[in-house]
Amino acid sequence: MSIIDAIIQGIIQGATEFLPVSSSGHLSISQHIFGIELPGILFDIMLHLGTLLAVVFVYRATIWKLIKEFILLVQDIFHRKFKWSEMSKDRRLLMMVIISLVPLFLLFLPIPGTGMQIKDYSEFFATDTSILLEGISLLLTSGLLFLAIRAGMKVLSGKIVTSPDGQLVQSSGRKKIHTIDAILIGFMQFLAAIFPGLSRSGSTLSIGLLRGINKQAALDFSFVMGIPAIIAATILSLKDAGSQDIAEVGVLPLIIGLLVAAIVGFLAIKLLKWMVTSGRLEIFAYYTLIVGGVITLLGIIEHITGNNLFTGKPL
């Protein structure tokens, strides 16, 4: 792999992992357009490690609180002192994150008669020669974002609440995450793990907003719940990576890809936090609508012709 290819893939991964436009979909589409064939999965793992570093750095204070709270939780359970009704704010967030991860175990369900698990389909969709599914999934992402924007507008025009200083202000949505919220958001993360083009951050954020959760709270929860998911996916992928991958990709492209993904990922998180809180989420909704429509059309044409329109290779 060339240094330029590593930089391009790092930029795409870093920007799209957190922006609600789907990193897996954009990586698959870019590899399809430029004819990039990755030897093994090690490079993909390094890109995900880069974005993991970015989100851990941004949310390091919250992560440290959750780690300490997890230790205290284990102690309370061991000493039979745990009470659901008396959970602190940090413990409640920890419990909601744990609950949101439960739907991901559906990825390991076997599919009768195939010898495959559900997660195997995500690998198949991401590496097949067609971009039609990516286009359709981007359109679904756009639809979710438009619904979320509409739900957010209803919240802002809704009930009047009393602020901490006693002022009457319009409600900006609830900040507390409920169990049903965590389950639904976690289920969307499960679906996003299967279909390239269905944005993990976009779909989980959208469900949060559709549930009436505050924009900032929904966004923060989406990012934090994604950390253990990325770690788990990386660990599971490492067992399939061989030492031969390093020789085929090259040490320098691996390092550059990781660093570029981390730096761009950090900037993408900051950008998204600003755009969501300032009411500019519709930019991503229109972007995924346009790109999804174009990719879907190109995918249909390619299936009719039987060839990759960009490289000329047969599908």
Contact 31, 239 (CB under 8 A): no
In angstroms, the CA 275 to CA 204 distance is 16
| Whether the predicted pLDDT of 247 surpasses 80 | no
Residue type, 268: A
In a domain, 239, yes or no: yes
pLDDT digits (tens, 9 = 90+) for 158-176: 555 454 555 444 456 788 9
- Band of the pLDDT at 46, cuts 50, 70, 90? confident
- Percentage with pLDDT > 90 across the chain: 53
Q: Under 8 Å CB-to-CB from 136, ≥6 apart: which residues?
A: 197, 292, 296
Predicted pLDDT of residue 249: 67
Residues 10/259, Cβ–Cβ less than 8 Å: yes
More confident residue, 156 or 228: 228
Distance between CA atoms of 219 and 206, rounded to whole angstroms?
9
Query: In this structure, which amino acid lies at residue 120?
Result: D
Task: Using pLDDT thresholds of 50, 70 and 90, give the confidence band for residue 177.
Answer: very high
pLDDT value for 48: 84
pLDDT of residue 36: 76
The pLDDT of residue 230 is above 80: yes
Tell me the range of 27-31, 215-219, 272-276, 300-304 where mean pLDDT is highest. 300-304
Report strand pairing: 116-117 vs 110-111. antiparallel
| pTM of the complete model beyond 0.85 | yes
Q: Which residues of 142-171 are buried (b: 16+ CB within 10 A; e: fewer)?
A: bebbbebbebbeebeeeeeeeeeeeeeeee
CB–CB of 173/155 below 8 Å?
yes
Residues 237, 130: Cα–Cα separation, whole Å: 23
Q: Residue 45: in which H helix or E strand, if any? A: helix 42-58
CA–CA dist 284, 268 (Å, integer): 13
How many domains does one find in the chain?
1
Cα–Cα distance for residue pair 54/37, rounded to 1 Å = 26
Strand 116-117 and strand 168-170: pairing?
unpaired
- Per-residue confidence (pLDDT) for residue 106, from 0 to 100: 93
Is 310 domain-assigned? no
Tens-place pLDDT, residues 277-303: 888 899 999 999 999 999 999 999 999
Distance between CA 306 and CA 299 in Å, rounded? 10
- Rounded to 5 degrees, φ, ψ at 79 are -95, 10
Q: 38-62: string of b/e by CB count within 10 Å (b at 16+)?
A: bebbbbbbbbbbbbbbbbeebbeee
In a domain, 313, yes or no: no
The parent domain of residue 213 ranges over 3-305
The CA distance from 256 to 252, in Å, is: 6
- On whether the CB atoms of residues 286 and 132 are closer than 8 A, the answer is no
Mean pLDDT of all residues belonging to the chain: 87
Average pLDDT on 109-130 reads 84
- Evaluate if residue 133 carries a pLDDT over 70: yes
**C-alpha–C-alpha distance, residues 64 and 42, integer Å:** 28
Region 179-200 average pLDDT: 94
